[in-house]
């Protein structure tokens, strides 16, 4: 199997658009390609899926340990002709100092060669020392060459290629400035309202354009498989997705778990859903926007992130679903919410100055700030036993939101604040999250791969609720 990373010298150089176009071109050739995204981002992976018809998985070397990454990559790429990995930010940009969490670190761990995209606006001969620096900065990272993006015209292209040839740097193609490669964005990233970014012929046109612009045969030739040998296989077992069901203290349980999935809620790590399935959950999609009631015989609800603020008016007017979620919570049903899920479970969402009532499990009001409020990785420890595990359980995740909690009614004792505390060195043990009965929600998007026991604990909590209420779950 072949594999390649599409990286860049910095954010905004065109990684996502060229990755999408390349996915479309490879699919047109009849190749079965598994897409990946380095880092915690959800949105780019959604676009990968649209273009390739294959789910995209996140490869994050801060949230996930090295052994898990290797096994996860091997399992999810098995049976594919190629793995195409889109990088994050610039090649060596990571969590902070050093390369931890960077595209470069993924290249080292998985042994994947890199093709570097450079936005060539306002640059000519300087392309050579720029790329040369990336190629020689760290000998463990194999930078095979460069794709030139945002070329103004033939003469500009000629200057760039001449500079690369004189420096002995391989070049895999050049992409001229093209409106076809422009995509609408909104806060959090590319607009996931697909109809705004794709028309009927756009994917086909992207494939045709990239076939004319890039030397795909040369890219396939350099895309090599160099998996690092893992010596101690016993250490891999707790992180192997295929045997995660063995983590259970007893036999594998089975239950129905409702996944909120529509225009307002669609941010989920595919690995999280896989882990829940392998732990025994039957995942059933539902729409808080459009459905009037929850699916039947549920053990729990998973409310992921997304854009509930954009659809706040419609969510607020869907009283049937709000009542159903509220009744499920009061009955002791398991509900786990992340970011957008937390916002939906609160008292209201304030967007563009208008207040929209929500489920009201937690007496908090959430306001959209109009600017980024928080961005960063978090390592959390459970303060008490809950639906995700026992007190002391550690799990990693990521926060990225443009909203903030402006009213926090601590006088209401039916629910409590602080299900986690952060153990990040720079976070000073901040309290995170809210809980009520079997409802838990926070701004943090957890990656269950950082501690697969958490997925099994969540499924087991759902099963126990079903058992207590004498439902079949089937």
E strand segments, 18-142: 33-38, 57-59, 82-86, 114-119
Asked if 91 contacts 5 with a C-beta cutoff of 8 angstroms, the reply is no
Reference 118, options 15, 269, 44, 205; nearest CA is 15
Using alpha carbons only, how large is the chain's radius of gyration in Å?
23
Measured in residues, the chain has a length of: 474
Q: Which fold has domain 2-222?
A: Rossmann fold (3.40.50)
**What pLDDT was estimated at residue 420?**
78
Asked if 361 contacts 416 with a C-beta cutoff of 8 angstroms, the reply is no
How far is the C-alpha of 148 from the C-alpha of 215, rounded, in Å?
Answer: 12
Q: Compute CA distances 139 → 70, 90, 107, 113, 143, whole Å.
A: 20, 17, 11, 12, 9
Question: Where are the CATH 3.40.50.880 domain residues in the chain?
Answer: 240-468
Question: Where are the CATH 3.40.50.300 domain residues in the chain?
Answer: 2-222
Task: Flag whether pLDDT at 374 surpasses 90.
Answer: no
How far is the C-alpha of 76 from the C-alpha of 55, rounded, in Å?
Answer: 10
**CATH number, span 240-468:** 3.40.50.880
Asked if 83 contacts 36 with a C-beta cutoff of 8 angstroms, the reply is yes
Asked if 339 is an active-site residue, the reply is: yes
Give residue 239's pLDDT band: very low, low, confident or very high (50, 70, 90).
Answer: very low
Q: Which of 339, 386, 456, 462 is catalytic?
A: 339
- pTM for the model stands at 0.89
* pLDDT tens track for 398-437: 998 788 888 766 555 566 777 877 877 666 667 888 999 9
Reference 150, options 9, 45, 36; nearest CA is 9
* pLDDT tens track for 302-327: 999 999 999 999 999 999 999 999 99
**What pLDDT was estimated at residue 60?**
96
Task: Flag whether pLDDT at 189 surpasses 80.
Answer: no
Reduced to 3 states (helix: H, G, I; strand: E, B; else coil), residue 48 is helix
**What pLDDT was estimated at residue 317?**
98
Choice between 107 and 246, residue whose per-residue pLDDT is larger: 107
Reference 91, options 18, 10, 173; nearest CA is 10
Q: What angle is formed at CA 117 by the lines to CA 113 and CA 119, rounded to 5 degrees? A: 165
End-to-end CA distance of the chain, in Å?
A: 39
Task: Flag whether pLDDT at 99 surpasses 80.
Answer: yes
Which of 375-379, 409-413, 449-453, 468-472 has the least mean pLDDT?
A: 409-413
| Average of per-residue pLDDT across 25-32 | 94
Task: Flag whether pLDDT at 238 surpasses 50.
Answer: no
DSSP character string of 217-283: HHHHHH----PPPPS-GGGGGGG-GGGGGGGSSSSPP-EEEEEE-SSSEEE--HHHHHHHHHTTEEE
Give residue 339's pLDDT band: very low, low, confident or very high (50, 70, 90).
Answer: very high
Q: How many helices (H) and strands (E) does the chain have?
A: 14, 25
Give residue 231's pLDDT band: very low, low, confident or very high (50, 70, 90).
Answer: very low
| Average of per-residue pLDDT across 39-62 | 93
* pLDDT tens track for 348-370: 999 998 999 999 999 999 998 87
**What pLDDT was estimated at residue 427?**
62
| Tokens encoding 67 | 């052994």
Antiparallel, parallel or unpaired: β 189-190 and 185-186: antiparallel
Task: Flag whether pLDDT at 251 surpasses 70.
Answer: no
* pLDDT tens track for 67-82: 999 999 999 999 999 9
Q: Which residues contact 105 (CB under 8 A, 6 or more apart)?
A: 61, 94, 99
Q: What angle is formed at CA 267 by the lines to CA 264 and CA 269, rounded to 5 degrees? A: 160
| Tokens encoding 92 | 């060596």
Task: Flag whether pLDDT at 50 surpasses 80.
Answer: yes
| Tokens encoding 372 | 């980024």
Asked if 240 contacts 284 with a C-beta cutoff of 8 angstroms, the reply is no
DSSP character string of 163-181: HHHHTT--EEEEEE--GGG
């Amino acid at each position: 199997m072949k594999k390649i990373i599409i990286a860049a010298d910095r954010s905004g150089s065109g990684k996502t658009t060229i990755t999408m176009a390349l996915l479309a071109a490879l699919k047109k050739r009849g190749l079965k390609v598994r897409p990946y995204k380095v880092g915690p981002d959800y949105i780019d992976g959604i676009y990968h899926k649209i273009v390739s018809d294959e789910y995209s998985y996140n490869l994050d070397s801060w949230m996930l340990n090295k052994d898990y990454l290797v096994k996860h990559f091997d399992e999810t790429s098995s049976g594919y002709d190629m793995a195409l990995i889109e990088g994050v930010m610039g090649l060596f940009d990571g969590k902070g100092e050093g390369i931890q969490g960077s595209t470069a670190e993924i290249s080292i761990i998985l042994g994947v060669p890199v093709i570097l995209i450079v936005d060539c606006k306002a640059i000519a001969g300087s392309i050579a020392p720029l790329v040369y620096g990336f190629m020689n900065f760290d000998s463990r990272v194999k930078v095979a060459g460069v794709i030139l993006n945002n070329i103004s015209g033939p003469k500009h292209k000629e200057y760039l290629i001449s500079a690369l040839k004189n420096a002995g740097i391989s070049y895999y193609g050049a992409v001229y400035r093209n409106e076809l490669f422009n995509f609408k964005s909104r806060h959090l990233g590319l607009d996931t309202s697909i109809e705004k970014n794709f028309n009927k012929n756009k994917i086909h046109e992207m494939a045709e354009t990239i076939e004319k612009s890039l030397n795909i045969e040369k890219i396939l030739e350099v895309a090599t498989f160099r998996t690092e040998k893992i010596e101690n296989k016993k250490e891999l077992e707790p992180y192997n997705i295929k045997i995660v069901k063995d983590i259970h203290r007893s036999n594998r349980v089975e239950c129905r778990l409702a996944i909120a999935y529509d225009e307002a809620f669609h941010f989920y790590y595919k690995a999280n859903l896989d882990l829940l399935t392998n732990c025994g959950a039957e995942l059933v999609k539902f729409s808080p926007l459009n459905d009037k009631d929850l699916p039947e015989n549920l053990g729990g609800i998973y409310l992921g992130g997304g854009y509930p603020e954009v659809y706040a008016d419609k969510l607020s007017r869907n009283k049937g679903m709000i009542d159903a979620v509220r009744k499920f919570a009061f009955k002791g049903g398991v509900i786990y919410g992340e970011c957008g899920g937390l916002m939906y479970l609160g008292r209201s969402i304030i967007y563009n100055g208008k207040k929209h009532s929500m489920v009201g499990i937690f007496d908090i009001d959430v306001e959209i700030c109009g600017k980024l409020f928080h961005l960063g990785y978090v390592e959390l420890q459970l303060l008490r036993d809950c639906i995700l595990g026992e007190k002391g359980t550690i799990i990693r995740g990521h926060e990225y939101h443009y909203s903030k909690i402006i009213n926090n009614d601590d006088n209401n004792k039916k629910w409590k604040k602080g299900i986690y505390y952060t153990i990040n060195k720079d976070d000073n043990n901040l309290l995170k999250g809210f809980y009520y009965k079997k409802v838990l929600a926070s701004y943090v998007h957890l990656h269950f791969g950082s501690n697969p026991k958490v997925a099994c604990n969540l499924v087991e909590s759902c099963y126990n609720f079903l058992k207590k209420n004498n439902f079949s779950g089937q």
